[in-house]
Amino acid sequence: MAHWGMFEVESAGGDVSAVHPYAGDSEPSPILGNLPGSVRHRARVSGPAVRRGWLESGPGPSDKRGADQFVPVSWDELLDLLAHELRRVVDTHGNRAIFGGSYGWASAGRFHHAQSQIHRFLNMLGGYTRSVHSYSLGATGVIMPRVVGTHWKLFARSTNWDVIADHTDLMVCFGGVPLKNTAVNSGGTSAHPTRGALDRFRDRGGEVVSISPLRDDLHGRCEWIAPIPGTDVAIMLALAYVLASEGLHDKAFLSRYCVGYDRFEDYLLGRTDGVPKTPGWASALSGVPAEQIAALARRMAGGRTMVTVTWSLQRVRFGEQAPWMGVTLAAMLGQIGLPGGGFGHGYGSMNEPGLAPVPYPLPTLFQGANPVPDFIPVAAISDLLLHPGEEFDYDGRRLTYPDIRLVHWAGGNPFHHHQDLARLRRALARPDTIVVHEPYWTPMARHADIVVPSTTSLERDDLACTRNDPLLVAMHRAVPRYADARDDYDTFAALAHRLGFGARFTEGRTAHQWIEHLYEQWRGFVLTDPAHLEAPPFGEFWRRGHVRMRTEDGLSLFSEFRDDPERNPLTTPSGRIEIFSADIDGFGYDDCAGHPRWYEPDEWLGGERAQRFPLHLIANQPKTRLHGQLDHGAVSQASKIRGREPIRIHPSDAAARGLGAGEVVRVFNDRGACLAGVVLDDQVRAGVVQLATGAWYDPLDPSDPDSMCVHGNPNVLTADVGASWLSHGCSGQHALVQVERFDGVLPPIKAFDPPL
């Protein structure tokens, strides 16, 4: 099992030679094609390594990270050096001086989950400064609990695809429903139902409106509305204006199930600021005809309507506003909680929304408690390292960035997720020591002082499951460990013994004994459910390869709340949907008010900055890999143009610059530049270019943080600015750029070559 599907492998010579998707998956992910040849690829970290400058001069800030040589060391040497450095930092600066970084996508396994392993270890060490939320959902993770009282239920207990296919008349999809993203789910997936559900929905007569600058953000027949990027909230407000001004809104629903609509309506109709949010007002901002907006609002009020907002819409400046406004628009229609109506967040963002959940806790490695209270929003890592001791606002609180001396990273590659890579590189020069556990020489590994060679999930046993898939899978090791790589569990166990808490960390169990222990804990939960399907003893499960769990089918989001809001209140201060939040209003933030509203983006085609950089770059998720994982794989490599990441551009924009398909271009702004290969595509709105994230960062001059990336990583172009003071969410989806032909000698791609 991997994040992108269940499969069996053939192996030869210590590597994967072929992959066979699970027969029960009607649409297996093509990303599985990146696996063959991945275990013994030249990009693997073959053994323990220490950066030469750190080894010779000792811990301390260094601008050599990312450009220095590495020295091979033995496992005993590495463990001794690392244990000594951890003890030095704790004894001298305290546990808050350690930042425990991890991003959770390293393995689908429940035990060898890098995030769980490192957090368990650091908690037993005495704690660490942590991060909260995610790059994918940084804004939503803060705003939605305040608006509807939950975050995880929006995905894990969302309205099922079968319910939408059977009951919805109209889907209005802000950001579309991108099928490419439904290839993956954190923890694994055994089925990919989105395409089939949309086909059944349309066959029944359902209609889909996709509001996105990219036509392929929705599969199949739809009405495509292509706005100027960043203006979705303006369009939503205009739709709401039509509902309110024509009496099409459900006043009874707003009165019983919501609070603060009157405050919002004053803004909507222009009573508070003198600007009615009419379709004409929104048309001037978005480029969408006013009559098209008005007609859509009336269609939405005329039948069972589902309003969906993708995660991409909140990965921008003021990212809280789109999901908040989406809920408000759905509330005005009065269909929240009804089968096929209401609101959805994340359909097409991952293979979780729309899938039925399992009713049991999943097998989980206990991580213990972190006694250190300090934390940061996950997208604030550069701020953390560059501004120790500085205060910052977050979700109504005033916090302080600790002085980080050691970064201990296991799982994930921030050079894929984070913005403004030149700034990130300068930030990574600040700590005394950076430790990275990695199977591959990713950009993060290259910026480490101590590199710990980790196994991949193909080289170890594990369990795999997720909260919205019916299968619990036995992940049998497919190939031997590569070279001198070790499981992170073995590494942390050895470190824990050196630091005096080895027995507590291991509890006397080997990795395989832990897997059996976690399974039996899960089995105990299942056996208490009188409707459980099967829960064989571990030995039988391990031989069979998987067991099927019961799922909760036919869910409609917030149906219990709609049935009885007094008995089933939301966990908001009012117990209802907070269209106006008195708490947020009281924070006094000038970039997030007490109700959803339009804020002019910092970077958009309607602003002054577009005079210098006239193309709007959408840096979205790739379709040929998961984030930056296995960028060297066959499927990912097949998409490259002359070795560079492809950039899609409208033919008219290409013609204006004298560009042809297959040419290499320089994409640039005042933050940085990268090379990319041209793909002409009239399914991209004119004035927009699309360059996916995930190409491994490959600077022309590794010693210069401002050097051009020759491989096509768009995060050299994005601004490292939080969504707002409320959330500090990632805003890396959009950036303004210019594009020109690259006429120089093409530099070689070195991203997958091990460092010296």
Encode pLDDT of 6-28 as tens digits: 899 999 999 999 999 999 998 99
Q: What pLDDT is stored for residue 31 in this prediction?
A: 94
Residue 696: active-site member: no
Q: What pLDDT is stored for residue 161 in this prediction?
A: 97
Report the b/e string of 243-255 with b at 16+ CB within 10 A: bbbeebbbeebbe
Q: What pLDDT is stored for residue 330 in this prediction?
A: 98
- Give the 3-state secondary structure of residue 597: coil
pLDDT, tens only, 543-579: 999 999 999 999 999 999 999 999 999 999 999 999 9
Amino acid 99 reads F
Number of H helices, E strands in the chain: 25, 28
pLDDT confidence bin for 104, thresholds 50/70/90: low
Strands 170-174 vs 130-132: parallel, antiparallel or unpaired: unpaired
Please identify which of the residues 103, 281, 409, 604 carries the catalytic annotation. 103
Helix (H) or strand (E) holding 211: strand 207-211
Helix (H) or strand (E) holding 8: strand 7-12
- Whether the pLDDT of residue 105 is over 90: the answer is no
pLDDT, tens only, 483-500: 999 999 999 999 999 999
pLDDT confidence bin for 4, thresholds 50/70/90: confident
Instruction: Confirm if 606 and 184 have CB atoms less than 8 A apart.
Output: no
Q: What pLDDT is stored for residue 373 in this prediction?
A: 97
DSSP H helical ranges for 74-177: 75-93, 114-125, 140-148, 153-156, 161-167
Q: What does the alpha-carbon distance between residue 355 and residue 345 come to, in Å, rounded to a whole number?
A: 13
pLDDT, tens only, 48-101: 999 999 999 999 999 999 999 999 999 999 999 999 999 999 999 999 999 998
Q: What pLDDT is stored for residue 533 in this prediction?
A: 82
pLDDT, tens only, 623-643: 999 999 999 999 999 999 999
- Whether the pLDDT of residue 279 is over 80: the answer is yes
pLDDT, tens only, 186-237: 888 999 999 999 999 999 999 999 999 999 999 999 999 999 999 999 999 9
Q: What pLDDT is stored for residue 103 in this prediction?
A: 78
- The first and second tokens of residue 485, run together, are 């790589």
Task: Give, as one character, the DSSP assignment of residue 206.
Answer: -
Geometric angle at alpha carbon 383, from 382 and 387, rounded to 5°: 120
Max Cα-Cα span within the chain: 74
Q: What pLDDT is stored for residue 106 in this prediction?
A: 72
Q: What does the alpha-carbon distance between residue 597 and residue 325 come to, in Å, rounded to a whole number?
A: 8
Rounded mean pLDDT of the chain?
96
For residue 358, give every residue at least 6 positions away whose Cβ sits within 8 Å of its Cβ, in sequence order, or none. Answer: 465, 467, 468, 469, 470, 549, 550, 551, 552
For residue 341, give every residue at least 6 positions away whose Cβ sits within 8 Å of its Cβ, in sequence order, or none. Answer: 167, 168, 304, 305, 306, 330, 333, 335
Residue 105: active-site member: yes
What is the chain's alpha carbon radius of gyration, rounded to the nearest angstrom? 25
The sign one gets for the Cα dihedral 678, 679, 680, 684 is negative
DSSP letters along 506-546, please?
A: HTT--HHHHHHHHHHHHHHHHHT-TT------HHHHHHH-E
pLDDT confidence bin for 128, thresholds 50/70/90: very high
- Whether the pLDDT of residue 3 is over 80: the answer is yes
Q: What pLDDT is stored for residue 432 in this prediction?
A: 98
Domains along the chain with CATH numbers: 1-37 (no CATH), 46-135+361-534 (3.40.50.740), 159-185+198-354+556-587 (3.40.228.10), 608-741 (2.40.40.20)
Of 274, 234, 320, 297, give the one whose Cα is nearest residue 606: 234
Cβ atoms < 10 Å from Cβ of 397: 8
Of 427, 431, 425, give the one whose Cα is nearest residue 450: 431
**Percent of the chain at pLDDT above 90?**
95
Q: What does the alpha-carbon distance between residue 361 and residue 358 come to, in Å, rounded to a whole number?
A: 8
Please identify which of the residues 4, 22, 54, 105 carries the catalytic annotation. 105
Cβ atoms < 10 Å from Cβ of 666: 17
Geometric angle at alpha carbon 493, from 492 and 496, rounded to 5°: 85
Whole-structure pTM value:
0.97
**Percent of the chain at pLDDT above 70?**
100
